[in-house]
Structures are given as C-alpha cells and as structure tokens.
Amino acid sequence: MLQTISETSQAVQQLHALFAECWERELAENPITASYIGDPRFNALWPDLSPSALAASEAANRDALARLQALPREPLPAEEQLNFDLFQHELQARLAVLPFQPLAYAISAREGPQSLNELAEIMPLDSVADVEVWLQRLRGLPRYLEQYSALLRQAALEGRTQPRLLMERVLPQLQMQVDPKVQADPSQSPFFSAFARLPARLGDSAIARLQSEAKAVIAQAVLPAYQAFKSYFENEYLPACRDSVGISDTPEGLAYYQNRIEFHTTTRLTAQEIHQIGLDEVARIHAEMKRVMDGLGYSGSLAQFFEFLRSDPQFYCQSAEELFAAYVMCAKKIEPELCKLFGKLPRTPYGLRAIPMTSAPNTTAAYYSGPSDDGLRAGFYYVNLYRPEMRPKYEIEVLTVHEAVPGHHLQIALAQEQQDLPKFRRFAGYNAYLEGWALYAETLGFELGLYQDPYSHFGQLTYDMWRAVRLVVDTGLHALGWSRQQAIDYFRANAAKTEVDIVNEVDRYIGWPGQALSYKIGQLRVLDMRRRAEASLGPSIDIRAYHDMLLDGGALPLDLLDRKVDAWITAQQTRPQTGQ
C-alpha cells in the first residue's frame, strides 16, 4: 500500500525527535564530549561514573533502541532509512560491549584522569565567565576522581585491569600533578598553565583575581584529589594489575577482542584473518621499500637502512622550535594543492599546536582535535615536540596529510558543517572510515606534489608499513599470545620508526585493543573502492566529484560506504552525455 505524504512526514518527524532526544541525553551524560563538540552547557560538569548513573544510561539506550524499532521504517525516504539504520547500529554497538565492562579499561598510558588539565585545551577561556566555569569544573574534580577510583577498584576485583607494565607509565604523570613544587606553589601545577595565559583583554584586575582563585582551587580541591587518587592507584590498583599484556587474559577476553574488532573495523573479520592480511601487506610494502633503496643506490639490508634512518643526524631537527616550524611549512605547502582533488573544502580553519608535555612523553607523534560545533574553536593538528632528535623529518609530510589535510581535518570539518545531517551523523566515529580515509589521504600525497625526496617517499612507505605492522602486532598481542617484547621486536624489524615511537605505539595497542586495526583495514577498502570506480569509469572519472561523494555524508560503516560508491558509479554511467 502506498504511504501518504502526511504518513511519511510524521514518520520522519518521529525519527528525528528520537535522534534529538538521545543526543541531548548523551551530551548530559558525557560533559567532556560536549565540551569537545563545543556545546558549553555542560562545561562545569564531569561525567557521573556512579553505578546508578551507568545503569540509568544503559536503560536509556535499551529504551531508545526499542522505541526506534517500534517506528515504521518502510515509509521513510531512502536517506532517512539510512539514518534509521545507522542509529540502530550505534545503539546496538553500545549495548553489545557493556557485558565486557569497557570503562574498566578506559585508563591508559596516553589517556585518563592523570592528565585532565589538558581539557583546558578545548575549553573556551575568552571571558571572565568562561574562566569561572572552568574553576567551577575544577571544584567538582574530587568527586570525579573518587568515582574513578571506585570504578578501578571494582575492575580489579573482577580481574578487568590494564597490564601493570602499562600502568607503571601512568605513575610519573600522576606525580606531575602532586609534585612537591606544586604543593609549595600551586602556580606550578599543570592546571595553572591555562590561567597563566589568560587573554589580556580580561583586564589586569580580573586576571589577578582569577589567578588567585585558581591557586586556591588547585590547593584546596585539585591537589588533594590527585593525592588521594595517586595513593589509591599506587598502593591498591597497581599491585592488582595483571602481568600479561593481551586482553585475552581478562574475563571473556577473546570475545571482547572480537567485539572490538567488529566495532573498530565495521567488518566481521576474525583476528586470524586480520593477522594474515597484515603479513601480506608487510611483504608487499617491503618490496616497495626495496625499490626506493635501489633508487638511492643503497646496497645494505633493510635492517641496516632502518638503522641509518634512525641514527643519522641529517634526518632530525636540533630543537623543538625547528621541528614545529617544519610542520607549519609543510601544512602551508599542501593547502593550495587541495583544489586539484576536491571540489568542496571546509570553511573551518585549522591550526598547529604542540602536544602538552603532561602527555607528550607517552603519546604518539601527532593527533588531531576537531573544531567546535559553534564555530568558535578551530580544528588543531597537535604535534609531539618531546625529544625532537627522535622525530624524523622524512615523516613530516606523510604525518601532516594524515592528521591535517586532506586527512582528518578536511574530512571531520566537512562532516560537521553538513547541517542537514542529524548530529549523531555529523559527529559519527566509525574508525574504519575515519582512519581509513586519513591513511588513504597519505597516498594522495603523491597527487599533491609531496614525497619528491626519496627519503620522504620512504617516510610514506614507513607509515604504510607502520599500519600494516599494526595488524600483525595488535592481533598477535590480544589473540595469539605475543609478549610485549615480541611485538616491539617485530615492529623494529619491519618499520623505520624510532625506538621512542615503537615503544609508545606498542603500549598504545596493548591499552586500546582493536583500535589500531581500523587504519589499514579501512585504507584497503577505500583504495579498492577507488580502483573499482576508475575501472568502471575510465579516464572520464571526475576525481574531485568522487572525493566529494566519499565525504558528503560523514563517516559510515565500510559496507554502507561500498554501497554508496557503487550507486555513484552507476549514476555516473547512466548520466546523459554532453558535447560532441
């Protein structure tokens, strides 16, 4: 039976009302996420980690799924059916992971309550009112850290802990928060750095008052809270942590890992299948590396070439300032070339920042932080300036196209600017798409005029190899019984990354099972989609239109992206031809 226009309209209204209601609830439940997105209503709050709050969140998601499935899907237009399917997918994924207690593993060497001062990086601090909201949030920090301790205590009782060797890396970060110099002078706290750089337009008297209040809050709330958390962490949690590194050694660990594989890759691949894909990719990229080495006239082994790249001073900057300037120059070189490959570019700008030193020693070479929804905060490409003598110049181009443009910033900013999409889609986080796109963007460097220097080309291959190694190492650690040292040795033997990066990366995979699989699995699928489009359309393909199509609906699971590409190819083939 044909549906009336009014029935269709009513179904769409009901669907979007549910989207909006759930979005509001999720922001209220996740104030840090709200701050990241740029919704200021919850900037004074922390997440509620109490058992009652977590139970209420689960119940609300189950209710939302039931209400969604009670809505009629058939009357909806095709685009709204896609919205329906994606929202159902998201709710089901949230519920499917809950039996594994994912919050038990939320703390890692690179993320967690040890570095909450870095939240100031995304907080608006442009007015006296803004700063007072941040102070209010800091006053509430003790309750949040108490709840976090209780969460870890329950996790330890259930055997759901992070590995001890990983958590030992958290202790120095906590020590920075409670260092004796901070106890003697609160202005030495990592939390005070945001108050030390308040804008001059606030006025001298207001700045002096706010800084005085900040010192008092740090001394009376922040410092005692961190002292209590560090005491619990060091004396109770750390001794209870497991000696093993694989998630398979935790309750239902292998099932949890398969859940994470499916979540991060949006596929049904098994750990063994992904491990083999990784081995095949490692072999393929080795052959490409050998061709570059032959072009340079290098007659030594791959291992010897890796050591040459790691140790020769010509490949490294001498200071953090020199390294930062090199990143800025690279970003500026790429931007004017983007119009060759894209018809639509984001209006939102991005900038470069150094990763804060509270986390820089324990995190990756760079990362991207998205813009705010209100347009008041740009996107930022964060680069690691810790130990510049270990950050090779030949990686700068490939890292920049991944994290900035045409990688994460271009894709994420464009998605957020699409006001016709529901918010859950504008901010969707399908890792296989997000990271698959960014890794695909690395290959676009050739079309953007990069990698002209053979060492820079080798840097691109090093990054491709890095993601192939991830498939082998992540599955090795979490499903095949590999040790941490085995993972480090395999990484070192197959990629020219420096020692500090290799160790940080392996520890990242240990603490975040499955996430690292999304890059290469996503890239391989996106590359296959482009080959399919080029084979079908030949030289008539409009690559700018093709890329615009890939990006115009925000992040999608890979199977839905496949369908979208096939539909676009068919539309191009049936489009009326013009001209002679």
- Identify which of 94, 80, 74 has the alpha carbon closest to the alpha carbon of residue 17: 80
Give me the amino acid identity at 311. S
Please name the residue that has the structure tokens 């347009």. Answer: 375
The whole-number pLDDT of residue 275 equals: 98
The whole-number pLDDT of residue 409 equals: 98
Q: Under DSSP, is residue 310 helix (H, G, I), strand (E, B) or coil?
A: helix
Q: Which of 2-11, 239-248, 363-372, 532-541 has the lowest mean pLDDT?
A: 2-11
CB-CB contact of 91 with 64 (8 Å): yes
- Identify which of 425, 427, 428 has the alpha carbon closest to the alpha carbon of residue 373: 427
Bridge partner residues of 368 (DSSP): 381
CB-CB contact of 22 with 62 (8 Å): no
- Identify which of 162, 220, 156, 161 has the alpha carbon closest to the alpha carbon of residue 186: 220
CA distance 221 to 512: 31
Backbone angles phi, psi at 360, to 5 degrees: -55, -40
What is the pLDDT averaged over residues 269-294?
Answer: 98
CA distance 478 to 506: 12
Tokens of 554: 């925000």
What is the pLDDT averaged over residues 377-391?
Answer: 96
CB-CB contact of 354 with 319 (8 Å): no
Calculate what percentage of the chain has a pLDDT beyond 70: 98
CA distance 380 to 558: 26
Q: Under DSSP, is residue 112 helix (H, G, I), strand (E, B) or coil?
A: coil
Q: What is the DSSP string of 433-449?
A: HHHHHHHHHHHTTTTTT
The per-residue pLDDT of the chain, averaged, comes to: 96
CB-CB contact of 259 with 97 (8 Å): yes
Q: Residue 570 belongs to what H/E stretch?
A: helix 558-573
Please name the residue that has the structure tokens 């909201």. Answer: 133
Tokens of 465: 């190899």
CA distance 299 to 286: 15
Please name the residue that has the structure tokens 């009326």. Answer: 576
Is pLDDT at 579 greater than 90 in this prediction?
Answer: no
Is pLDDT at 9 greater than 50 in this prediction?
Answer: yes
pLDDT in tens, 144-171: 999 999 999 999 999 999 999 999 999 9
Confidence class of residue 578 from pLDDT cuts 50, 70 and 90? low
Is pLDDT at 199 greater than 50 in this prediction?
Answer: yes
Tokens of 135: 């102070």
Alpha helices in 218-296 (DSSP H): 223-232, 238-240, 253-265, 271-295
CA distance 394 to 292: 14
CA distance 198 to 128: 9
* DSSP annotation of 237: I
The whole-number pLDDT of residue 174 equals: 97
Q: Mind spelling out the 3-state secondary structure of 352-402?
A: EEECCCCCHHHCCCEEEECCCCCCCCCEEEEECCCCHHHCEHHHHHHHHHH
Beta carbons within 10 angstroms of residue 254's beta carbon: 15
Q: Residue 350 belongs to what H/E stretch?
A: strand 350-354
pLDDT in tens, 500-531: 889 999 999 999 999 999 999 999 999 999 99
What is the pLDDT averaged over residues 534-561?
Answer: 97
Q: Which of 40-49, 483-492, 497-506 has the lowest mean pLDDT?
A: 497-506
- Identify which of 522, 71, 474 has the alpha carbon closest to the alpha carbon of residue 247: 474
pLDDT in tens, 72-112: 999 999 999 999 999 999 999 999 999 999 999 999 988 99
pLDDT in tens, 313-328: 999 999 999 999 999 9
What is the pLDDT averaged over residues 125-147?
Answer: 98
Is pLDDT at 580 greater than 60 in this prediction?
Answer: no
The whole-number pLDDT of residue 269 equals: 98
Tell me how far CA of residue 143 lies from CA of 150, 186, 329, 467, 553, in angstroms.
11, 20, 44, 39, 40
**Preceding omega of 392 cis (within 30 degrees of 0):** no
Is pLDDT at 363 greater than 90 in this prediction?
Answer: no
Tokens of 512: 């975040």
Confidence class of residue 3 from pLDDT cuts 50, 70 and 90? low
Is pLDDT at 255 greater than 60 in this prediction?
Answer: yes
Is pLDDT at 1 greater than 60 in this prediction?
Answer: no
Calculate what percentage of the chain has a pLDDT beyond 90: 94
In whole angstroms, what separates CA 468 from the centre of its chain?
18
Alpha helices in 1-77 (DSSP H): 5-29, 31-37, 51-70
Confidence class of residue 8 from pLDDT cuts 50, 70 and 90? confident
Tell me how far CA of residue 439 lies from CA of 78, 98, 436, 458, in angstroms.
30, 30, 5, 15
CA distance 481 to 364: 24
CA distance 268 to 275: 14
Q: Mind spelling out the 3-state secondary structure of 129-170?
A: HHHHHHHHHHHCHHHHHHHHHHHHHHHHHHCCCCEHHHHCCC
Confidence class of residue 2 from pLDDT cuts 50, 70 and 90? very low
The whole-number pLDDT of residue 42 equals: 97
